[in-house]
């Protein structure tokens, strides 16, 4: 870890996305289980234009690269504020980043709108930092699950009449993400370094519609495979299509070099699906929110005791 205070730099747009990718890759290599996010999470969020695209994001560097960041993300009705730190940073650096996160949560660019940050339930430091700053736990609960590549489920045939397709072999039609993520989704995904069209899967129903889709991500630096997002349309549910998508995607990830696979859940059905597919829960999460217009003094004392290991 750095012996001197890390220097702060700012970046926006794709430059910021590249820096947070490097930071999260470095963090995952330093600790296989710590933290919340993979680099592919932020790359997935890039799929749609956001007010935060042009915002200056804050990063801290040592002589090897980024060691921490505070990332702001526009979620339309609220803002996400995510402090990201390498594992086992010194307490002075941890305090510095948390102070910066609280400062950024009150930035004028946020226009006094609600701000949320997701916290692992085993991270008591984060809770102690957020509560004095006016953040309160919400009912938004979720978790992270992992699977070793060798434990992935076997690949079975799809139900009769259904066909597995991907954007590498079948790019002609409008992308299946367009309906929910907007017309720029595919062009923006193709701007990011970890997107692989052959891992962008869908199942075509017998009459030609898209019954479900899932996007898988392989990180060649960490060898982690991520599933994000996953959806089966309501009229095609309870036919085993979700399990098929997962099995096909995980198999492709393993063949491309993933040694571990990860998927996060945010609802009881998703939780049951992923556990049923063979994932194992590693941590649960809670979102903390500061409501619109609430602020806190920048002089609120912050303690780094009990920081995440």
DSSP characters for 166-234?
ETTT--SSPPTTHHHH-TTHHHHHTTSTT--GGGEEEEE-TTSSEEEEEEEEE-TTT-EEEEEEEEE-G
Contact between residue 144 and residue 283 where contact means Cβ atoms under 8 Å apart? yes
User: Which whole-number Å values give the CA distances from 79 to 51, 84, 102, 307, in the listed order?
Assistant: 10, 16, 13, 25
Residue with tokens 């979620």: 75
- Are residues 156 and 251 part of one domain? yes
Question: Would 297 be classed as within a structural domain?
Answer: no
Q: Does one domain contain both 231 and 275? A: yes
CA 37/CA 22 separation, integer angstroms = 12
Please tell me whether residues 60 and 185 are part of one structural domain.
no
Each residue's pLDDT tens digit, 273-285:
999 999 999 999 9
Counting the structural domains of the chain, the total is: 2
pLDDT value of residue 231: 96
Are 106 and 81 in contact by the 8 Å Cβ rule? The answer is no
151 and 280, same domain (yes or no): yes
Answer yes or no: do 176 and 230 share one domain.
yes
In a domain, 294, yes or no: no
Q: Which of the residues in the chain have pLDDT under 50? A: 1-2, 296-309
Domain that holds residue 74: 7-142
User: C-alpha angle with apex 236: 159 to 199, nearest 5 degrees?
Assistant: 70
One domain, residues 184 and 68 = no
Residue 303 covered by a domain: no
With respect to residue 305, please indicate whether it lies within any of the assigned structural domains: no
User: Residue 170: its pLDDT value, please?
Assistant: 82
User: Which of 121, 142, 163 represents a domain boundary (last residue)?
Assistant: 142
Q: Nearest-5° angle of CA 41, CA 43, CA 49?
A: 115
- Domain end position, chosen among 89, 116, 142: 142
Assigned domain for 309 exists: no
Same domain, 138 and 192: no
pLDDT, position 253: 98
In the prediction, which pLDDT does 292 show?
A: 83
Which stretches of the chain are DSSP H helices? 13-30, 39-45, 91-105, 124-130, 178-181, 185-189, 241-255, 268-276
Q: Which phi and psi angles does 202 have, rounded to 5°?
A: -150, 160
Q: Is 99 a member of any domain? A: yes
Is 40 found in the same domain as 135?
Answer: yes
CB 241 within 8 A of CB 211: yes
Q: What six digits make up the tokens of 19?
A: 């820096």
Q: Are residues 209 and 185 in the same domain?
A: yes
Helix (H/G/I), strand (E/B), else coil: 121: coil
Same domain, yes or no: 74 and 174:
no
pTM of this structure: 0.91
Q: Is position 104 within any domain? A: yes
Q: What is the CATH number of the domain that holds 171?
A: 3.40.630.30
Clarify whether residues 194 and 222 are in a common domain.
yes
Answer yes or no: do 198 and 241 share one domain.
Answer: yes
**Final residue before a domain boundary, out of 115, 142, 169:** 142
In a domain, 296, yes or no: no
């Amino acid at each position: 870890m750095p012996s001197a205070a890390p220097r702060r730099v700012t970046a926006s747009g794709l430059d910021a996305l590249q820096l947070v990718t490097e930071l999260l890759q470095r963090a995952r290599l330093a600790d296989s289980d710590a933290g919340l996010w993979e680099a592919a999470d932020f790359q997935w969020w890039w799929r749609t234009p956001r007010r935060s695209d042009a915002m200056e994001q804050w990063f801290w560097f040592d002589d090897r690269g980024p060691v921490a960041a505070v990332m702001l993300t526009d979620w339309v009705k609220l803002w996400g504020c995510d402090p990201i730190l390498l594992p086992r940073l010194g307490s002075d650096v941890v305090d510095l980043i948390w102070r910066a996160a609280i400062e950024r949560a009150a930035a004028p660019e946020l226009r006094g709108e609600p701000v949320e940050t997701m916290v692992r339930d085993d991270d008591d430091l984060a809770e102690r930092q957020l509560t004095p700053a006016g953040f309160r736990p919400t009912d938004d609960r979720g978790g992270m699950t992992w699977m070793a590549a060798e434990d992935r489920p076997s690949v079975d045939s799809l139900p009769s009449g259904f066909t597995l397709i991907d954007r590498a072999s079948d790019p002609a039609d409008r992308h299946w993400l367009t309906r929910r993520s907007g017309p720029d989704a595919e062009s923006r995904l193709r701007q990011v370094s970890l997107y692989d069209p052959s891992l962008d899967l869908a199942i075509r129903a017998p009459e030609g519609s898209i019954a479900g889709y899932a996007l898988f991500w392989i990180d060649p630096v960490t060898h982690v495979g991520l599933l994000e997002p996953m959806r089966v349309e309501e009229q095609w549910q309870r036919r085993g299509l979700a399990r098929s998508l997962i099995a096909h995607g995980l198999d492709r990830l393993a063949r491309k070099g993933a040694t571990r696979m990860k998927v996060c859940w945010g609802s009881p059905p998703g939780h049951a699906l992923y556990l049923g597919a063979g994932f194992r829960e590693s941590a649960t999460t809670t979102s903390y929110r500061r409501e619109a217009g609430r602020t806190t003094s920048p002089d609120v004392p912050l303690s780094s005791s009990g920081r995440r290991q």
